[in-house]
Structure 1
Amino acid sequence: MIPSGPRCIEPAPAASGPTGSTAPAPAASAPADKSRPALPAMALQCFNGGRWTSLSDLVGTPTIINLWASYCEPCRTELPAIQRVATAGAGKIRVVGIVTKDRTEAARSVIDAKDLTFPMLEDKGQQFAIAASPLVDKALVSLPATLFVTADGRIVYAYQGPALDESKLRDLTGQYLGVTVPA
């Protein structure tokens, strides 16, 4: 059974410019810092199967990327807080889960049990974690890991440590993405 909540990433909406052309929609975010690393140029499969999604689809909206797995207790602990921030921040930020090196059935069970609705991608071989690790000077193969990505697709912070609670996640979002998520 495919969970009803998680969907795949949709590209950021385009807004009409003054001449009628389309341009990325403006999004509140910290100022662009070209010295920060860009997301790896790669695609991951949507968790619910089917299409592959390019990480370039994240450009245009400040994004929180959470790498998690069903066998990771701190991951399961923080997922409800991540869902609450995703819901409260809708329209201001995007939250994306990347199921990392996990069995699909086990991850689906967690998604259903925790009623997760934010977009999910699948990274069974840890390609994303391996590609992003040198960019953030951390081994992202240790879970959970949460990346904060600006609207221009630059990784500004990678959090690894104890499970995030809602307050800490909101604080990090404000500090690194310049976005206040309502309580």
Structure 2
Amino acid sequence: MRRLLAGLLAVTLLTVSACTDDPPKADDVAAAPTGPSCLPAPASPSPAAPPSPSGGAAGKPLPAMAVRCFDGGRYVDAALLGSAPTILNLWGSYCEPCRTELPAFQRFVTAADGRLRVVGVVVRDSRDAAQSVIDDKRLTFPMLEDRDQQFSVALGRVVGKPVANALPATLFIAPGGRVVYTYQGDALDEQKIRALTATHLGIEVAA
């Protein structure tokens, strides 16, 4: 009887030890970066896309491809950018005009109050460097990452001019997923962003 009890005890101890492995240490778990979430829907209904001079839908369609969210391992279909009026701002931490205009986009996002979507695309940059800018500028709008430039190169083909190596670049996307205007030039301020949004997306955002 004692041998039977000893055997049962041994089996029980082996079973318990197999089910209670030590949890991974904090250093072994990759910490997700802080920062904005990925592509939330605007709060307000989307206005119709501005008509082209010929009467059809304006602009060329976004490329069909998956783009990674900056805040984790998820991917989104670029076509989702056309589910609402969207401003797509391509930037990198190494780009001085990019860092200059990002706070203006943040103020514009606050003023717009969900009437449209502003999405950043971090191009050819390290996660740590981009995260440092996001934290320093206190950016809350969603971010995608394009470390290998495949998305920005594809966007360049859509708009007919390079954007991957000419940052910052800002694309205005009408509902339906068509790029109706691309801005490349001096760093944008909030007034210029509002004016371009009114002209190309038909949305007036008060100062």
Q: 1:77 aligns with which of 100, 112, 120?
A: 100
Match of 2:178 among 154, 162, 169: 154
CA offsets per residue over residues 1-38 of structure 1, 9 Å max, x none? 6554411113568xxxxxxxxxxx84124435435201
| Percent identical residues | 54
User: Helix, strand or coil: the match of 1:174?
Assistant: helix
Deviation string 1:39-70 (CA, Å, 9 cap, x unpaired) is 11111111011211111222231100000000
SS of 1:163 mapped into structure 2: coil
8 Å CA contact retained: 2:33, 2:71: yes
List per-residue Cα deviations over 1:76-122 (Å, max 9, x = no partner): 00000011111211321100000000010000000000000000000
Aligned Cα RMSD in Å?
Answer: 1.8
- Paired AA for residue 124 in structure 1: R
The aligned length equals: 172
Q: TM-score with structure 1 length normalisation?
A: 0.87
Select 2:131's aligned residue among 108, 119, 130: 108
Of stretches 83-92 and 165-174 in structure 1, the one that deviates more from structure 2 is 83-92
Q: Which amino acid aligns with 2:113?
A: A
More helix by share: 2
TM-score by length of 2: 0.78
* Counterpart-to-counterpart distance in 2, 1:114 and 1:153: 29
Larger Rg: 2
User: Whole-Å Cα distance in 1 between the matches of residues 130 and 194 of structure 2?
Assistant: 25
Unaligned 5+ segments in structure 1 are: 14-24
